[in-house]
Amino acid sequence: MAAARADTPRTGRNFEALLIVLAIAMAIGAYALVGLAVDDALPPDMLAYGAGLGGLALVLHLAVRRFAPYADPTLLPLAMLLNGLGLVMIHRIDLAKGDAFGQSQAFRQLLWTTLGIIAATTIIVRLRDHRVLSRYTYIAMAVGLVLLLLPLMPVIGKNLNGARIWVGLGPLSFQPGEIAKISLTIFFAGYLVTARDSLSLAGRKVLWMQLPRAKDLGPLIAAWGVTLAVLVFESDLGTSLLFFGVFVGLLYVATERVSWVILGLMLFVAGALTAVRIIPHVQSRVNYWLHPFRPDIIDSAAQIVQGLYGMANGGLTGTGLGKGFLTGRYMYYAQSDMIFASFGEELGLAGLFAILLIYAVIVERGIRTSIAARDGFGKLLATGLSFSLALQVFVVVGGITRVIPLTGLTLPFMAAGGSSLLANWMIIAILLRISDSARRPAHEDDGPLFDLPFDDLPEELKHDAEFQDDRRRLAGTGSDQEEAVVR
């Protein structure tokens, strides 16, 4: 036991604090560069901006330090860096438009950043064991479906730019699909962790591919049907691609069968081709994607064309923050849908690669968390949340660079959009909670819920027979501990 204690991993909280300081310093530096480029002087509120952003990061860091000390030390600083840089670019576009701070997009984004970090802190403090979420598998499914259907309601649903993905009450608007992706990922993980054995059973072999049994196709067909319904009734190609991609990805991780991926891709392509033929909005998006410079289309495809010209104007190293020609003046939705192109003009190809590398590291740490998780539900949940971030970045960046048709999704943490920012901070919090459970030594005196006194456990776990059985087995030593793998 002495050797085991000597190998106890470090918590990494001091390293996390150092990275947060660097992230805030980079955000303040970017804010200063914008002020120097636009007004030829340092912004008078530069230190206030840094203090506000640093204060929010400190609150979440202290919560992680106290309630999830073994969580991954890189997730929070990287997310804070993206959030800070996004705020800077939105502020820079506000200056170009002449918007006052109180009525600006940057002010609203800062408010949503505060709400997002409050939500993340609440998850870290209140969610003591991520496995509790598996008890609400079908409730999460119901919540996710209700959220997807809200934009179709006659009073609160809003149709913007041909897609019906918003709900609004007075001046407030919200995109419920962003929260739905978390609920449905919880459902996918909870369902697949119990059904993966039956889904993994071999079916008929056709050529080199082992096809699943016909009766096991139900979940895939149901997910495809919901995705197609979103595509048809809400004209939202991006959300449908995101949900179906996450489900098919989790299905492959759970079963390790390539046939599920091939069948899923075939179903999605069939649904997308059908939608192109029968939905005018989807058809126009595809035309803008294929022929943006055609004389009869170029005016309607101006958003894509402006983004391409902006990134071309940036070149390799960019024009410099605050010095872009198209950004903030002519580019439509430069602070939301096209913020990646805005960064491309002012930071250049090198800056875009750096941003994509940050996203890649976040996804990699999420996948690493899923590999280290001690229970099947945690593995699938961390994988699904990481996939959702990766797919959302791909859909947004792919649309701007003409790899796929442009959609209405927002770039995580950076683009103006409160619902997206709130949902992505919640995803980071759940990943932090799972990584804490995965990295925490099971034999520590101040270890996870298995080691807490019975009276200190959450009420729902006091009556969970499976949890108590795992807890009793983990109370052993040596080989007993090694065999006590949380299901």
- Indicate whether 16 belongs to any domain: no
Model confidence at 316: pLDDT above 50: yes
In a domain, 406, yes or no: no
State mean pLDDT over 202-220: 63
Q: What is the pLDDT of residue 223?
A: 72
- Range(s) of the domain holding residue 237: 134-276
**What is the model's pLDDT at position 444?**
46
Q: Give dist(CA 260, CA 339) in Å, integer.
A: 35
Q: Which two tokens stand for residue 161?
A: 């730019």
- CA-CA distance, 472 to 487, in Å (whole number)? 14
Q: Find, among 41, 50, 4, the residue nearest to 23 by Cα.
A: 50
Mean residue pLDDT of the chain comes to: 82
Q: Considering only residues 313 and 408, tell me which one the structure prediction assigns the higher pLDDT.
A: 313
Instruction: Give the amino acid at 125.
Output: V
- Least trusted range by pLDDT, from 95-99, 219-223, 272-276, 458-462: 458-462
Give the separation between CA 356 and CA 459, rounded to whole angstroms. Answer: 42
Domain count, the chain: 1
pLDDT at 117: 96
Residue 485 has pLDDT above 50, yes or no: no
pLDDT of residue 109: 92
> What is the token pair recorded at 200?
């993994």
2: pLDDT strictly greater than 50: no
Q: Could you write out the three-class secondary structure of the chain? A: CHHHHHCCCCCCHHHHHHHHHHHHHHHHHHHHHHHHHHHCCCCCCHHHHHHHHHHHHHHHHHHHHHHCCCCCCCHHHHHHHHHHHHHHHHHHHHHHHCCCHHHCHHHHHHHHHHHHHHHHHHHHHHCCCHHHHHHHHHHHHHHHHHHHHHHHCCCCEEEECCEEEEEEECCEEECCHHHHHHHHHHHHHHHHHHHHHHHHCCCCEECCEECCCHHHCHHHHHHHHHHHHHHHHHCCHHHHHHHHHHHHHHHHHHHCCHHHHHHHHHHHHHHHHHHHHHCHHHHHHHHHHHCCCCCCCCCCCHHHHHHHHHHHHHCCCCCCCCCCCCCCCCCCCCCCCCHHHHHHHHHHHHHHHHHHHHHHHHHHHHHHHHHHCCCHHHHHHHHHHHHHHHHHHHHHHHHHCCCCCCCCCCCCCCCCCHHHHHHHHHHHHHHHHHHHHHHCCCCCCCCCHHHCCHHHCCHHHHCCHHHHHHHHHHCCCCHHHHHCCCC
Question: What is the identity of the amino acid at 164?
Answer: R
CA atoms within 13 A on the CB side of 460: 11
Given a cut of 90, is residue 434 above it in pLDDT?
yes
Q: What is the pTM of this model?
A: 0.85
Predicted pLDDT of residue 277: 82
What integer pLDDT is reported at residue 480 of this predicted model?
37
Instruction: Give residue 73's pLDDT.
Output: 94
Q: Which residue has the higher pLDDT, 58 or 443?
A: 58
Residues 295-310: pLDDT tens digits? 888 877 888 888 899 9
Tokens of 270: 């069939």
Q: Residues 32-58: what's their mean pLDDT? A: 90
**Would residue 150 count as lying in a domain?**
yes
How does pLDDT run across 112-123, given as a tens digit for each residue? 999 999 999 999
Note whether residue 270 is domain-resident: yes
The CA distance from 171 to 152, in Å, is 18
- Distance of alpha carbon 407 from alpha carbon 235, whole angstroms: 10
| Alpha-carbon separation of residue 148 from 231, 243, 275, 290 (angstroms) | 11, 11, 18, 29
Average of per-residue pLDDT across 411-428: 92
Q: Using one digit for the tens of pLDDT, what is the confidence trace for 103-157?
A: 678 888 999 999 999 999 999 999 988 999 988 988 988 888 888 888 877 777 7
> Does residue 354 surpass a pLDDT of 70?
yes
Q: Which residues of 375-384 are buried (b: 16+ CB within 10 A; e: fewer)?
A: bbbbbbbbbb
Mean pLDDT, residues 422-437: 95
Tell me, yes or no, whether 224 lies in a domain. yes
Q: Does residue 316 or residue 172 have the better pLDDT?
A: 316
Mean pLDDT of 48-54: 91
- Give the pLDDT of residue 445: 42
- CB-facing half-sphere around the CA of 177: CA atoms within 13 A: 28
The span from the CA of 169 to the CA of 466, in Å, is 44
